[in-house]
Amino acid sequence: MSTQPRPVGPLHKVLVTGASGLLGAGVARELVERNLQVVTLQRRPSGVAGATDIEGSVTDPAAVRAAVAGCDTVVHIAAKVSVSGPAHEYDQVNVEGTRNVVTAAQDAGVERFIQISSPSVAHAGNSIIGEGAGPADPAAARGHYARTKAAGELIALGADSPHFRVLALRPHLMWGPGDTQLTQRIVDRSRQGRMPVLGPGAALVDTLYTSNAVDAVLAAIHAVDHTHGEALVVTNAEPRPIGELIRGLARAGGSPEPRLHLPAGLAKVAGAVIERIWELPVAGGKDRDDEPPLTKFLAEQLSTAHWFDQRRTQQVLRWRPAVSIDEGLALLTEYYRMR
């Protein structure tokens, strides 16, 4: 890590990959609002007014080179995010795709590179209680997503230098209006009576409200000028019991609170069995295109504590979450009420 690197040029033109997703679109819109030139690269239109949209995949080196041309900064968010599916699909996007973006950025003379990673890259299934980021470990990571995101983070940080400054951010359990990965699933499954609370639901868990995540990424773009070569977990710094969070999200979405309770040990065993079933091809030999209702990784996430010391993150980013969990739940309630 370097704390006093040589000066870099002004922030002028930024590439955001994965801008059709909630975080990427939010970051791209905020950059446009700040009168920066913004290029987005994703497989479908981003919908970000004022940005130059390039439809393509990070797995296509030519598309990546075209997108990064003339940029001084890259925010790499594009990833395959799921809990099931063939391993090669995760490798293709999260490992080789990241390698493509890093290589193209270096060749194009990019000076700042923000890698959006995940706390799961350093989670081996045990509780995390007030720890820092910890090193990414593909060998110990749980599941294809965590393993490949760990490998991608190592590729990005391995390229760090005074001329190519890399900072990895690990947003933890992002939720809020428009989020389909966590929020909508909890709301839908609670409405269907399929959202379990494991054990007593007392494990303390950190989360991150969506607008706070966007603000943290914007802060990182400036922070990488003075601190780089490391990973930072980003959260609201408000650990809450997992059962309380699940019930709060369900209520905000107008769903009944979950009444399904399962022993954590049983859920982990069941999740492992379901994972194996989901790996089997369906009729016609095709891979499944839906997600399993439970996996071992998901059971671990729902039953173990994972909250993080945010002092280093807030020091480096010079940032604090603007929206508290309670404020976020109120905003989420209003969002669903207006739909």
Q: pLDDT tens digit string along 146-168?
A: 999 999 999 999 999 999 999 99
Architecture of domain 13-175+207-236+308-323: 3-Layer(aba) Sandwich (3.40)
Report pLDDT for 278: 67
Query: How does the average pLDDT of the chain come out, rounded?
Result: 90
Examine the pLDDT at 142 and tell me if it is beyond 90: no
Q: Mapping DSSP to helix (H, G, I), strand (E, B) and coil, where does residue 203 land?
A: coil
145, 209, 335, 336: the active-site residue: 145
Catalytic, 145? Answer yes
Question: pLDDT-based confidence at 125, cuts 50/70/90?
Answer: confident
| Residue of 294 and 130 predicted with greater confidence | 130
Instruction: Read off the pLDDT of residues 256-275 as tens digits, 9 standing for 90 and up.
Output: 998 878 777 776 676 666 66
Q: Are 130 and 204 in contact (CB under 8 A)?
A: no
Q: What's the rounded mean pLDDT across residues 176-200? A: 89
Examine the pLDDT at 124 and tell me if it is beyond 80: no
Report pLDDT for 290: 63
Domain boundaries, the chain: 13-175+207-236+308-323
Gyration radius of the chain over CA positions: 20
For residues 19 and 111, what is the distance between their CA atoms, to the nearest angstrom?
A: 20
Report pLDDT for 295: 67
Q: Mapping DSSP to helix (H, G, I), strand (E, B) and coil, where does residue 104 land?
A: helix
Question: pLDDT-based confidence at 6, cuts 50/70/90?
Answer: low
Question: pLDDT-based confidence at 9, cuts 50/70/90?
Answer: confident
DSSP bridge pairs for 6: none
| Residue of 252 and 281 predicted with greater confidence | 252
Question: pLDDT-based confidence at 13, cuts 50/70/90?
Answer: very high
Q: What's the rounded mean pLDDT across residues 296-301? A: 69
Helical ranges in the chain per DSSP H: 22-33, 61-68, 87-90, 98-107, 143-158, 183-191, 210-223, 242-252, 264-279, 296-303, 311-317, 325-338
For residues 69 and 41, what is the distance between their CA atoms, to the nearest angstrom?
A: 12
Instruction: Read off the pLDDT of residues 203-257 as tens digits, 9 standing for 90 and up.
Output: 999 999 999 999 999 999 999 999 999 999 999 999 999 999 999 999 999 999 9
Angle between helices 325-338 and 242-252 (to 10 degrees): 30
DSSP bridge pairs for 54: 41
Report pLDDT for 201: 86
Percent of the chain with pLDDT over 70: 88
Question: pLDDT-based confidence at 302, cuts 50/70/90?
Answer: confident
* Residue 315: partners with Cβ closer than 8 Å, 6 or more residues away: none
Tell me which residue has tokens 């603007």: 322
CA-wise closest residue to 280 among 92, 81, 90, 85 = 85
Confirm whether pTM is higher than 0.85.
Answer: yes
Instruction: Read off the pLDDT of residues 16-55 as tens digits, 9 standing for 90 and up.
Output: 999 999 999 999 999 999 999 999 999 999 999 999 999 9
CA-wise closest residue to 205 among 236, 170, 168 = 236
Examine the pLDDT at 2 and tell me if it is beyond 50: no
